[in-house]
Structure 1
Amino acid sequence: MNIRCLIIDDEPSSQNVLKSFIQKIDYLECVDVCNNALEALEFLKSNPIDLLFLDINMPHLSGIDFYKSLKNPPKVIFTTAYSAFALEGFELDAVDYLLKPFSFERFLKAVSKVKELNDYKIEYVFIKSDKKIHQLKIDDIYFIEGLRDYIKVHLKNNFLITYKPLKLMYNSLPKSTFIQVHKSFIVNKNKLDYLEGNVASINSNKIPLGEKYKKEFLDRFNL
């Protein structure tokens, strides 16, 4: 599964270098480019991303302050022309720090670290429901339904309800398996029976496809 990347940089030359490097690596996908942190904040509201290439010295809001503001941040590789920012970047658990101008070899070393982290397979999640903590295999989850501040985790023959926002649950799941298809639904793509119009069928349940999520959903299946 591709690692979905977002470039956040105010310099067109830096954007072009990153885009060209990303295109050379088959497991990376450049989803979009933002010129500043404010654009990126708006973009991330409705677009799941696995990796940020984040410039630090930008107008309006620095890359450091932007990353600190994210509640559930994706992995990040900081890019900057100023080595003085390196320590603070690593204190934020950055995967790596690229000092401009950087070579393709240095870029490859950085993204290889991300791939190693992504290759670690999540096999279980823990759900607190009915005063018990349930250990669920990822493959046993068919889809997840958001109910305001609660979620309903649908299994093959039953379900569990727990207090957790849908967005927080989505961020804890492997994106290679799960995809959000509606503001209130996340599905296990391996459990899809069929797609008809704007409805996905999973285990005899009809799940609506939201318009802003449909393209990404179809792209996952190369449709």
Structure 2
Amino acid sequence: MTLKSQKTRCLVVDDEPLAAGILRKYIGQLEDLELVATCGDAFEAMSLLQREPIDLMFLDIQLPGLTGIGLLKALSRPPAVVLTTAYREYAIEGFELQVLDYLVKPVPFERFLAAVNRFYALYRPPTRLPATMPPPGAAQEHAFLYLKADKKMIKVFLKDISYIESLKDYVRVRTADKVIITYQRISTLEAQLPATMFLRIHRSFIVAIDKISAFNMTAIEVGDTELPIGRQYKNQVLKALGL
């Protein structure tokens, strides 16, 4: 991210005007994202990437002339990449190329948001990274994610989260001073959180490791709240806690 704007600089590469327009709309809804350009083919995108610093690229696979996969293979130092496509069968190849996420069209806003949150969890703001690998030490002071609640996007810093509770298709995110309920499955949110900072202890609970005040073989205390350790999570929890 550039020091001038402190925003994540985004590039949309898609030859379908409707699909590109949806991504542009989504990007415009998040204050920390900045749309640098929209390209209709891989060659235009390659040229722009040589001129402009890009942090996050939303890349369609089916492009005229050169596919998105072909573009990705041709770049020696690509930005973080989210692949977009109407075809699920490209998912394995995409992840072999270490893409950040894989979105199937039509892209729901919640999935777009999950991809962006994954970017924020893996990459350290406000310094723009030239490589695709996440920086060492995932417990980042300024890392955050967005949660959609009460018809608005709420920025939540990871360091402020105490624990997360599943409410079936919703999750309750607790910080020291507020509670946020958002439409999202706990497994989806778990995938966006760095494992060095958060620990799944139960099918219904994720805790911030640094907020654990005490624990035993069956429960973990976060402040004054006692949370159960699920039977299927017991071994990995105790191992993570050094037992």
> What TM-score, normalized to structure 2?
0.50
Is there any run of 5+ residues in structure 1 with no aligned partner, and where? 123-169, 175-223
- Corresponding residue number in structure 1 for 2:130: 171
Describe how 1:138-217 pairs up with structure 2 within 5 A. Answer: 171=130
Q: Give 3-state SS (helix, strand or coil) of 1:61's partner.
A: coil
Which of 53, 57, 63 is the matching residue for 1:52? 57
Which of 94, 97, 106 is the matching residue for 2:99? 94
CA shift for structure 1 position 76: 0.1
Asked if residue 116 in structure 1 is aligned to residue 121 in structure 2, the reply is yes
- How many residues in Structure 1 have an aligned counterpart in Structure 2? 126
Is there any run of 5+ residues in structure 2 with no aligned partner, and where? 1-5, 135-243
- Corresponding residue number in structure 1 for 2:30: 25
CA shift for structure 1 position 45: 1.1
Q: 2-side partners of 1:79 and 1:118: how far apart?
A: 20
Q: 2-side partners of 1:46 and 1:52: how far apart?
A: 14
Describe how 1:126-145 pairs up with structure 2 within 5 A. Answer: none
Q: 1-side partners of 2:62 and 2:103: how far apart?
A: 13
Q: 1-side partners of 2:77 and 2:106: how far apart?
A: 29
CA shift for structure 1 position 171: 2.5
> What TM-score, normalized to structure 1?
0.54
- Corresponding residue number in structure 2 for 1:180: none
Residue identity opposite 2:60 in structure 1? D
- Corresponding residue number in structure 2 for 1:75: 80
Residue identity opposite 2:114 in structure 1? K
Which of 35, 39, 47 is the matching residue for 2:40? 35
Q: 2-side partners of 1:10 and 1:120: how far apart?
A: 30
Q: 1-side partners of 2:14 and 2:126: how far apart?
A: 31
Asked if residue 15 in structure 1 is aligned to residue 14 in structure 2, the reply is no
CA shift for structure 1 position 120: 6.7
CA shift for structure 1 position 56: 0.2
- Change in Cα spacing, 1:45 to 1:105, as seen in structure 2 (3 Å) is same
Q: 1-side partners of 2:52 and 2:125: how far apart?
A: 23
